[in-house]
Structure 1
């Protein structure tokens, strides 16, 4: 599958070609640096390196008006007017799950292509997806037409599934945050789910979400007692992942509404994130209500 819009296809092609290089470049970059990202988290050397690599390449694409990253405080003006026709903003989490570098576990790259100036509602996304650096490097791309999974090798994309949809019968779940920090209503919901589904939680959002796409089920990083706004970033994680799951036939929620309907106040806004099969998200919202 080729994305019909040439600018969006250039973004997707650039990320897919860069993925093999990013994966190889993780070697020797497993340490942290004495810096924090705008969310106050310690940065890995690989976070900064992957951000610079993707930022340079994506900003050079004609038709990309803005580049924003979880690793940067400010939006990068790429020259094109982000409000003009055929001009897009690209938001990236260059290395989701980089804390897994030390233990050599799964991580990925998340991206969203917005047809609006950032920060923007998820409803303005025209494409979103992720690269998963697992045993095999794969890429999932969602557009308004379909969700497609590829294997990546040597900069080339090979189609694995042209129409990714959540299985009707859910199998797995994964919930982030410390259990004592969960609000009482979410604990009630979690107790129900854990009696029905198998736990799959690896500490990298993208790996846990891919389990849900593959087997059906739900992933959540809820509002916490210590952090009611949630942990994950709306522009870089919540919106792109919500878009992928909704386009694959599932639902997303911040606990009350679709993630794609949330109005952002700032680039690095956090949000609770819940995605999965329709009935599981409906039950979540009913319990939290």
Structure 2
């Protein structure tokens, strides 16, 4: 099965720490967004995945590291921009972030986001160690999705760093109407290409793919459907990092009543012991994820 019960924090102290992490993400997001215009250039460094860092990546990572690392109850901080997790204090919880998902969209001024995951274990952790996850979407309106305590909520974040709950207990629509598939089509496997062509044949579905995973995921959460960044002929593990993208996105979608998969199992059951390990990512309505797993058998 592609969906399972998701983990939630048990202790009152851990719940308070999660609330503080969410608050830091929300109140830092306007500063990250305001700092983007002057940082749309490449830095001189590569991140641990071999990708050229943008100045905005480094800026967002530094802000989040400083502020999350200062929280009581957080023991480790890790990001896509750092080779290793760093000790930041004492406590039970570790926080992993993608500070600026889709930073390649800075040049064409398209959607970007910040992804965060809170684990009740040292990093690298397992998907079943997640106790909260979420993301900020830097769209026309700045919004934040948070999965915790078995529910998914949506907030609007304002420029003055205040934020407001606008939807509680967000769930995937029953009928999925959008789809988006990453990777170069000539690099898809035959089985995945056949599945993708079947999805495209349904006239009720519309293609939505913007080059920022978090923007594409938010489309699925809003309208239902399926998003995939599959394993490729040249990269069987795909492109997305399991700690920073696969686990938290799987957690959010499953908490919202959807499903996630690496092609054979829930993303939360993927077992990788390296901080920057990659995994194929498929999320969406359970029926579509079941069809995908059947196609890839």
User: Which of the residues 208, 227, 245 maps onto 2:235?
Assistant: 227
Structure 1 counterpart of 2:135:
130
Structure 2 counterpart of 1:143:
148
Contact persistence 1:200–1:208 (CA under 8 A): yes
| Larger RCO (alpha carbons 8 Å, 6+ apart) | 2
| SS of aligned partner of 1:28 | helix
**Alignment of 1:77 onto 2:87:** yes
Structure 2 counterpart of 1:161:
167
User: Which of the residues 254, 260, 266 maps onto 1:252?
Assistant: 260
Q: 1:28 Cα shift?
A: 0.8
Q: 1:228 Cα shift?
A: 0.4
Structure 2 counterpart of 1:84:
none
More deviation, 91-100/31-40: 31-40
Hey, what's the Cα distance between the residues in 2 that align with 1:195 and 1:158?
40
Structure 2 counterpart of 1:187:
193
**Alignment of 1:23 onto 2:45:** no
Q: Which runs of 5+ in 1 are unaligned?
A: 82-86
Contact persistence 1:233–1:271 (CA under 8 A): yes
Deviations 1:159-185 (A, max 9, x none): 121011000001000000000000000
Q: 1:231 Cα shift?
A: 0.4
Deviations 1:127-171 (A, max 9, x none): 000000000000000013210000001211211210110000010
Hey, what's the Cα distance between the residues in 2 that align with 1:24 and 1:164?
28
**Alignment of 1:173 onto 2:179:** yes
Structure 2 counterpart of 1:12:
22
RMSD: 1.0
Q: 1:251 Cα shift?
A: 0.4
More deviation, 149-158/178-187: 149-158
What TM-score results when the alignment is normalised by the length of structure 2? 0.94
Contact persistence 1:109–1:131 (CA under 8 A): yes
**Alignment of 1:50 onto 2:60:** yes
Hey, what's the Cα distance between the residues in 2 that align with 1:186 and 1:215?
22
Hey, what's the Cα distance between the residues in 1 that align with 2:136 and 2:39?
19
Hey, what's the Cα distance between the residues in 2 that align with 1:77 and 1:131?
25
Q: 1:144 to 1:261 in 2, by over 3 A?
A: farther
Q: Kindly tell me the number of residue pairs found equivalent between the two proteins.
A: 282
Deviations 1:207-240 (A, max 9, x none): 0000000000000000000000110000000000
